[in-house]
Structure 1
């Protein structure tokens, strides 16, 4: 599933190719996504100029003078910039044909993604308004994590993966950040000190920044590529390495299930 670094990499990849360009046609081949694609989408979007490409959590936002297109990649979705005459494949559900002769193509084999339209202020949209702070913003602090965690018995890993607490810390990056912070993922969130939450906040930032930078190395090849610029090209210390030696101490990495997610940790380095 695309996580925040992959969505941010996608945003940076498509930005220079669609910003300030007019949408000439909207082609919807399959409207049955996670939520139905609005039937009025072509009428609302055709002729509009895309003013920017923004991101809130894992939603990509394409504002125009007439409203905002909201895109979520779901579990298997991707966006690609392609020549307008590119043949259509089985899971190519939506095209935005641009005045430039290119198109923005949404492909989603599992159809858990979304493409929605809103004319209201985006911060008040039901899918946006209850989200927590961005993990790379000044609103995300160790102090805030500490205060919100008081009296919580849930595991710290599921706590930081809650989008109401902080957005975009998916399974892979939660594993990595907790390892770098030296915190066991199954430790109750309410029993972690302020100093350790401050360390965890820095670890989350560093892991995400590094992952975004890794994804960004292929941006020069984005046009006409496979739409997957550097996904997960970060050297993972924990995720998917159960039974292997810890890169720090050599202890065998353990795996447990938390919130129905695979969770790896080092029983020596993480307390």
Structure 2
């Protein structure tokens, strides 16, 4: 699943290209339409595909920003503003192209679900192989309350204090520390990849409970997470599986990972082990991480 660095990379590439362009046509895939007809919510959430398509026409993209793992398209039409909120799920990707043929990887071209045709003739295309992503058209963040419950951005001044306060709450204190740092209410944008890397850098076992980690170590862990996230942003994110930037390019952070996906510890050479935490496979070194 794309985490904060991958989403940040998409936004940084997308914003200068998409800003100022106006949507003149919206095409939704038959797969999404049929899903809606069956009472399911594939990709287009909280609105019918018909209303989604009609409402977006004529809207101008005023800006594109990131909030945690979400992409916010700030839209304006006739003086009224709204948000198109995009979550990439496990395999979502945006492409800015002149033609569908410009999407070179067939696995993405075969799973196109929304096409925004722009007034200049270009296309803004959303592809999602596994269809776990979402597009939600709302007036503002308050129209979808879960967005308001996200933790502060990890680079924000108040983020560390928020993390420490939340981790000390009974709700989180007895949970595995890895579960806690992957919880978006506690810390924004850190998923399995970067949680694995941060805990390895800290020589900390992922199943250790939050209350077993001292305040000083929690502060250090928070800073390590921030550093790992920033390193990945600088490297263009991790292209572990289906992550691509808007031009189809892969990131390079996967070449720098020290523990995620490894069979052998990069520090001591011991065989790594894994366990399930919060439904995710957690790889760790039994020798280095205690």
Normalised to the residue count of structure 1, the TM-score between the two structures is 0.87
**8 Å Cα contact 1:4-1:169 kept in structure 2:** yes
Q: What secondary structure sits across from 1:51 in the alignment?
A: strand
Q: Distance in 1 between matches of 2:166 and 2:261?
A: 29
1:148 equivalent in alignment to 2:166: yes
The count of aligned residue pairs is: 263
Runs of 4+ aligned structure 1 residues displaced above 4 Å come to: none
- Matches of residues 36-185 of structure 1 in structure 2 within 5 Å? 38=48, 39-65=50-76, 66-84=81-99, 86=101, 89-119=109-139, 121-123=140-142, 125-141=144-160, 143-150=161-168, 151=170, 152-185=173-206
Residue 124 of structure 1: how far off its partner (Å): 5.4
What is the RMSD of the two structures over their aligned residues, measured on CA atoms?
Answer: 2.5
Q: Distance in 1 between matches of 2:159 and 2:235?
A: 23
Q: Distance in 2 between matches of 1:41 and 1:116?
A: 9
Residue 93 of structure 1: how far off its partner (Å): 1.0
Query: Mind listing any 5+ residue stretches in structure 2 that lack a counterpart?
Result: 36-41, 104-108
Deviates more, 1:250-259 or 1:129-138: 250-259
Q: What secondary structure sits across from 1:127 in the alignment?
A: helix
**8 Å Cα contact 2:9-2:245 kept in structure 1:** no
Q: What secondary structure sits across from 1:11 in the alignment?
A: helix
Normalised to the residue count of structure 2, the TM-score between the two structures is 0.82
Query: Mind listing any 5+ residue stretches in structure 1 that lack a counterpart?
Result: none
Residue 182 of structure 1: how far off its partner (Å): 2.4
Residue 115 of structure 1: how far off its partner (Å): 1.2
Residue 128 of structure 1: how far off its partner (Å): 0.2
Match of 2:4 in 1: 4
Task: Select the structure that is richer in helix.
Answer: 2
Which residue of 206, 209, 214 maps to 1:193? 214
Deviates more, 1:177-186 or 1:200-209: 177-186
Q: Distance in 1 between matches of 2:252 and 2:287?
A: 29
